[in-house]
Amino acid sequence: MSRNKNSAILLISCPDQKGLNAAIAEFIFRNNGNILHADEHQDEDLGLFLMRVEWDLADFAIPMTDFAQHFAPIAKKFGMEWSLSNSSHRPNVALFVSKYDHCLADLLYRHRSGELACEIPLVISNHLDVQALADFYRIPLQVVPVTKENKSEAEKRELELLAPLKIDLIVLARYMQVLSPDFIRKYPHRIINIHHSFLPAFVGGKPHHQAYQRGVKLIGATSHYVTEVLDDGPIIEQDVVRISHRDTLEDLIQKGRDLEKVVLSRAVRWHIESRILLYGNKTVIFD
């Protein structure tokens, strides 16, 4: 996505029916909008229509603040659930990390290079190990130690740190703590995690050890939204790499880390660019 583009992005989910494309395109045309991209998907089993449409706002007749009231008759007619975003908006993203810093380093680099069109006002960690990395990128780091005894107090402190920053998205960049249901409910479908296996295989804390013992020929990484069920949220992106009997456990871990960085950064970028539409426990990723 061009960083200089001023466009509106509409995500739509509704029962599949005739006239949807025509109604949406006609609404945008009637209000002097120029469609830049349109992508859609029909789920035949559920009878659902899912769409992402993006249009130029340069000559669009409706201010974004008034869009809802103008679009309401169409949304009501077709039973739409929808959300609107602006490509110029830079969401506030908080990064959570423990000791492994490879995903954090990748995200911070992509942010500085302009690949991730967001603001990163805060990194939260339960260890001091990433202090030098945060300092290098001039991102404030808050260390909140977590133990079995203080987990509730630690999460309360983390929420206190997030609240004034109006955080839009939390990214768990190898944050090795399980968030409580209460914490997750405060950011529904706004927490992205990277799991170091090809889910649903090898859930839990040491998937590479499980994969090595099982003698698999492929290992993977999975980025998903966090839900109250561990490692079971809607999957955003996955990738795999081939391994062989010659690879040691350390080789699997190193290859896995390379995958994790790429898979997580893709998921974060797609979320920021409003390319993800959730339905049920699935996601549609629009081009």
Domain 7-86: assigned CATH number: 3.30.70.260
Q: Domain 92-285 belongs to what topology?
A: Rossmann fold (3.40.50)
How would residue 3 be classed by pLDDT, with cut points 50, 70 and 90? low
Residue 215, pLDDT score: 77
Known catalytic membership, residue 59:
no
Could you say which of 16, 66, 106, 231 is catalytic? Answer: 231
Q: Minimal CA–CA distance to 54: which of 42, 67, 68, 39?
A: 39
CB-based contacts of 93, cutoff 8 Å, min separation 6: 116, 118, 119, 120, 167, 168, 169, 170, 171, 268, 272
The residue ranking higher by pLDDT, 212 or 41, is 41
Q: Which residues of 53-64 are buried (b: 16+ CB within 10 A; e: fewer)?
A: bbbbbeebebee
Is the pLDDT at 13 greater than 80? The verdict is yes
Contact 156, 113 (CB under 8 A): no
**Tens digits of per-residue pLDDT, 188-242?**
999 999 988 766 666 666 776 777 777 777 888 999 999 998 878 999 999 998 9
Q: Which helix (H) or strand (E) holds 192?
A: strand 191-195
Percent of the chain residues past pLDDT 70, beyond the cut: 95
Distance CA 17, CA 34 (A): 24
Residue 54, pLDDT score: 98
Among 24-28, 101-105, 150-154, 248-252, the minimum mean pLDDT is found in: 248-252
Residue 200, pLDDT score: 61
Residue 1, pLDDT score: 45
**Tens digits of per-residue pLDDT, 46-90?**
999 999 999 999 999 999 999 999 999 999 999 999 999 999 999
Strands 34-43 and 7-15 turn out to be: unpaired
How would residue 96 be classed by pLDDT, with cut points 50, 70 and 90? very high
**Tens digits of per-residue pLDDT, 124-151?**
999 999 999 999 999 999 999 999 899 9
- DSSP bridge pairs for 265: none
Residue 210, pLDDT score: 74
Contact 143, 127 (CB under 8 A): yes
Residue 208, pLDDT score: 67
Q: Give domain limits for the chain.
A: 7-86, 92-285
Q: Give me 146's structure tokens.
A: 């977590």
Distance CA 107, CA 102 (A): 9
Residue 2, pLDDT score: 45
Residue 136, pLDDT score: 98
Q: What is the mean pLDDT of the chain?
A: 93
